[in-house]
Structure 1
Amino acid sequence: MFFHVQRMINEIVPDEPDPGAANALQEGLGGQFGEMRTMMQYLFQSFNFRGKAAKPFRDLLHGVGTEEISHVELIATTIARLTDGSPRYQGSPTELDEPAAGGETPLKNALSQGNIHHFLVGAQGALPVDAVANPWMGSYVYNSGNLVLDLLYNLMLESTGRLQKCRIYEMSSNKTLRSTVAYLIVRDHAHENAYAKALESLGVDWGKVLPIPKTRAERYPEVKTLLEQGLENKQYTFSLDHLSEAGKIFREASPSDDDKTLSTAQAPEGVPIEIADPRPEEFAPGLDPALLEQVQAVAERELAEADEPWRYGPTQQ
């Protein structure tokens, strides 16, 4: 059972639209080593898990997989921010033009910048595809049923994802892109630590192998700030009932830095979610006055219902 808190897991820093940067991020979302892959792989491994004695490993997989849902939300929203309003963008850091200003066609830049599907199919939003618009595939998911094999594969997946995000960071100075990519670089490091620690508990001696890759990512100012907060050494359980046993694994010395200590927490606080403005040139959301009245009525009803008391699990007698 999953619960959703309407807060983004990390702040997305505002900057100019950049459809090219958005397309680079598509690889980090729907590519072979992207966030959709990690989300589905870890959750399926936890759903299919066998062996009650090994429950801490199952809980670790489930916690990381649940966090990956929030990473899919974060990177998809970032892509939408980078494409949103980009028909107005004329390359100026201080001035934005209205779509179709001066007689130009509103979506003209879709033919020459980024991924045309962001405008043709997605209404200036993210898509479940890679950077060349290949659709995400379930065949990416690796779930052998063998714990050691799965953990090794997961560590490789996190390391490759981190490598690609470091490359994406180097592709653009856009603050919107970098705020998200920097956060994911550090959280990928945390997940490397999680799977490395799990393998370490099974007898693996990492020596000086980790982290992979050795990118010196701390030279990125956004990454340096997050590392100073120790974010690479904390893993979230997302366990509302506090039954997760992942803390039995994710503890003591970090496998990538003996001077650092690993710890678990239920969930990060997150930041408020903002809903994007309408885009008339995309007919999105495409609501006329009559439909807007119905939307308002539904919103008022849901707000009233949200004020009613509720509790987690069955009502106590």
Structure 2
Amino acid sequence: MFMHNKRLQYTVRVSETNPRLATMMLEQFGGADGELAAAMRYFTQGLGEDDAGRKDMLLDIATEELSHLEVIGSIIAMLNKGVKAQLAEGQMEEVELYRTFGTSGVSAKEALLFGGGPALIDSAGVPWTAAYIDSRSEPTADLRSNIAAESRAKIVYERLINITDDPGIKEALGFLMTREIAHQKSFEKALYAIEDNFPSGKLPGVAKYANIYVNTSQGEGDTNGPWNAGGQWDRIDDLTQTMPIDGGDGTASVGLSSAEEVAAAKLAARTASNPASNPRTGVDLGAGPGAGRTTDADLGGAEDIASAPAFAEANPPASVDTLTT
């Protein structure tokens, strides 16, 4: 159950309207790393969480993220207040009003449909989507994802702070950015409060592959570090050792029923390619400068391939009688 307090968690003071800045701020309102995405991610995780401590933490942080959505939305509304009034009241001449929107960074959708109000879109006008929520209902995976989400949001807030000189907005964004740090700390503590939190899930990894580092990108720029060298790693530089690494023959196989085997053989016979043919194609007929080499009768066109009839004779249509096993 929710009760709304009409006071913001942090006071919003905007010195002057700025529609272009408002458009950038939408990234943290309806964007992938924005406050709504964070709130929905933590709410859904919290509702499905069985551990009392994690459930309490997730619902606390989810609710606070909604208050942050209110703060960033209020900033957007204040930055757009002049544009909203001009659009609604038509105080400007048509050309002047049109020019205002054309140079302000406000999208047509934001201006015409939402009237300058904070909309659930990102800075490019892309609508918010639940696809931003990447929870897996496995706490060791979700908490790591949450830590990354808070880190990404902090970086976006840093960049927004860098593009405004409005002191009130800088202060509010600094508060929101810092709360991302605090939430990351909570998620880190919750993650490491789980014993044996790595790897995620229940099943252990296959022991013989868990310590292997495969140096698949070789050449200038090769660098050694604790991520690929040292006692923790069995490093493979000879890539032939990984093809295949399991000691098998490296091919794909499947067991087919008799009916499937008959059908597969018919398909293979019907779609077989003749490597001895050199058919004249539409590319040859329409070739012009820059086309490169094309089929030519003097170089062995389709009419010069004597083995084509032999290929057809050697690959008759498959029959059930010859393929049934």
Number of aligned pairs?
194
Once the two structures are TM-superposed, the CA of residue 130 in structure 1 deviates from its matched residue by: 0.6
In structure 2, distance between residues paired with 1:196 and 1:204: 14
In structure 2, do the counterparts of structure 1 residues 195 and 126 end up closer, same or farther at CA, with 3 Å as the change threshold?
same
Contact persistence 2:84–2:116 (CA under 8 A): no
Which residue is equivalent to 2:46?
A: 46
Which residue is equivalent to 2:53?
A: 56
Which residue is equivalent to 2:226?
A: none
In structure 2, distance between residues paired with 1:155 and 1:103: 48
Whether 2:62 is the aligned partner of 1:65: answer yes
In structure 2, distance between residues paired with 1:142 and 1:103: 45
Q: Secondary structure at the match of 1:85?
A: helix
| Unaligned runs of at least 5 residues, structure 1 | 90-97, 206-317
Q: Secondary structure at the match of 1:202?
A: coil
In structure 2, distance between residues paired with 1:176 and 1:204: 45
In structure 2, do the counterparts of structure 1 residues 204 and 196 end up closer, same or farther at CA, with 3 Å as the change threshold?
farther
Which residue is equivalent to 2:193?
A: 201
Contact persistence 1:78–1:176 (CA under 8 A): no
Name which structure has the greater RCO, CA cutoff 8 Å, separation 6+.
1
Q: Secondary structure at the match of 2:38?
A: helix
In structure 2, distance between residues paired with 1:136 and 1:103: 31
Which residue is equivalent to 1:83?
A: 80
The structure whose residues are more often strand, as a share, is: 1
Which residue is equivalent to 1:177?
A: 169
Contact persistence 1:12–1:176 (CA under 8 A): yes
Paired residues for 1:218-257 under 5 Å:
none
Paired residues for 1:1-317 under 5 Å:
1-49=1-49, 51=50, 54-86=51-83, 100=91, 105-106=96-97, 108-116=99-107, 117-202=109-194
In structure 2, do the counterparts of structure 1 residues 194 and 2 end up closer, same or farther at CA, with 3 Å as the change threshold?
same
Once the two structures are TM-superposed, the CA of residue 202 in structure 1 deviates from its matched residue by: 2.4
In structure 2, distance between residues paired with 1:102 and 1:27: 31
Deviations 1:262-295 (A, max 9, x none): xxxxxxxxxxxxxxxxxxxxxxxxxxxxxxxxxx
Deviations 1:128-156 (A, max 9, x none): 00110000000111221101111100000
Once the two structures are TM-superposed, the CA of residue 102 in structure 1 deviates from its matched residue by: 7.7
In structure 1, distance between residues paired with 2:196 and 2:117: 43
In structure 1, distance between residues paired with 2:85 and 2:114: 17
Deviations 1:41-90 (A, max 9, x none): 000111122x3xx200110000000101111111111101011114799x
TM-score (norm 2): 0.55
Q: Secondary structure at the match of 2:3?
A: coil
Q: Which letter maps to 1:142?
A: D
Which residue is equivalent to 1:242?
A: none
In structure 2, do the counterparts of structure 1 residues 174 and 107 end up closer, same or farther at CA, with 3 Å as the change threshold?
farther
Which structure is larger by alpha-carbon Rg, 1 or 2? 2
